[in-house]
């Protein structure tokens, strides 16, 4: 059956858990739909919120999500859809495998951590160092640009949204516009938990989006997933 404009889909329990599982096989574009499907927004409203959607592609994507048991057809459209898409407290923990650069013998993955909280910087460095990663830190824009432009570019960037003199999404846009940086995977780590913010990250091509607070193992698992690294023994 083809979805109609007034039809409403709701996430199943499997669908809700998928967005919190720490790993996903869905592309950034495909992940927009599970984020937007909320049990109150019609297909027509969701189509308006997608950038230049192809209605045939949208219908096919909805059918596939339903077939995979991630969403289910709900009852009827309500007028709560728009507000539901901007409400606070939207929790997400996703990471998907990125295309990684060639690895030489003795390679040790280098992670650039961008966060303005010194306590979190220290914690991230401790967690990731114990897992065998090399760490580079940055807070302000000039430090971020230096961290990205050194002879050895990072293998992955952990990026907060709220920074002293810039915005994490602006940094993401800069990276994606630079041929030398566009393929470096980025994981957003933030308290910015509105669906609008999550969609901004997905549309910017992030490989992961973790809303804080989260446990250390969630962070390390996400980094390993994105870099296609096996779990430590």
The tens-digit pLDDT sequence of the chain (233 residues) is: 567 888 888 888 888 888 877 778 777 777 888 888 887 788 888 888 887 767 888 888 888 899 999 888 875 434 444 444 445 455 678 788 887 777 777 778 999 999 999 998 999 999 999 989 999 999 999 999 999 986 778 999 999 999 999 999 999 999 999 998 999 999 998 887 777 888 888 888 899 888 887 788 888 888 988 998 887 66
pTM: 0.74
Q: How much of the chain, in percent, has pLDDT values that exceed 70?
A: 90
Report the C-alpha gap between 224 and 206 in whole angstroms: 15
The first and second tokens of residue 219, run together, are 């962070």
Using a 10 angstrom Cβ sphere, with 0-12 exposed, 13-18 middle and 19 or more buried, the burial of residue 84 is: middle
The first and second tokens of residue 96, run together, are 């998907």
Report the C-alpha gap between 196 and 88 in whole angstroms: 10
Which pLDDT score, from 0 to 100, does residue 47 have? 86
Helices (H), the chain: 13-18, 28-36, 43-49, 55-67, 81-84, 118-130, 141-149, 168-177, 195-203, 216-226
Which pLDDT score, from 0 to 100, does residue 173 have? 94
Side by side, which strands form the sheet with 93-95? 93-95, 208-211, 186-190, 156-159, 110-114, 134-138
The first and second tokens of residue 27, run together, are 């592309």
**140-191, pLDDT tens digit by residue?**
999 999 999 867 789 999 999 999 999 999 999 999 999 989 999 999 988 8
Report the C-alpha gap between 24 and 143 in whole angstroms: 31
């Amino acid at each position: 059956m083809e979805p109609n404009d007034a039809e409403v889909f709701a996430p199943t329990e499997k669908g809700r858990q998928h967005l919190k599982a720490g790993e996903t096989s869905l592309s950034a574009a495909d992940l927009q739909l599970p984020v937007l499907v909320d049990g109150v927004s019609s297909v027509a409203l969701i189509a308006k919120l997608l950038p230049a959607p192809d209605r045939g592609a949208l219908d096919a994507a909805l059918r596939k999500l339903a077939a995979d048991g991630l969403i289910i057809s709900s009852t009827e459209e309500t007028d709560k859809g728009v507000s539901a898409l901007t409400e606070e407290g939207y929790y997400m923990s996703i990471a998907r495998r990125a295309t990684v650069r060639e690895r030489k013998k003795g390679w040790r993955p280098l992670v650039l951590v961008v966060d303005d909280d010194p306590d979190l910087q220290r914690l991230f460095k401790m967690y990731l160092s114990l897992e065998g990663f090399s760490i580079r830190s940055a807070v302000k824009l000039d430090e971020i640009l230096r961290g990205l432009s050194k002879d050895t570019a990072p293998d992955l960037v952990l990026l907060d949204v709220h920074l002293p003199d810039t915005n994490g999404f602006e940094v993401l846009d800069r990276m994606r516009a630079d041929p030398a940086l566009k393929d470096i995977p980025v994981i957003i780590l933030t308290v910015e938990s509105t669906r609008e913010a999550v969609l901004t990250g997905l549309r910017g091509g992030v490989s992961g989006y973790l809303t804080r607070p989260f446990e250390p193992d969630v962070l390390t698992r996400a980094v390993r997933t994105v870099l296609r690294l096996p779990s430590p023994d």
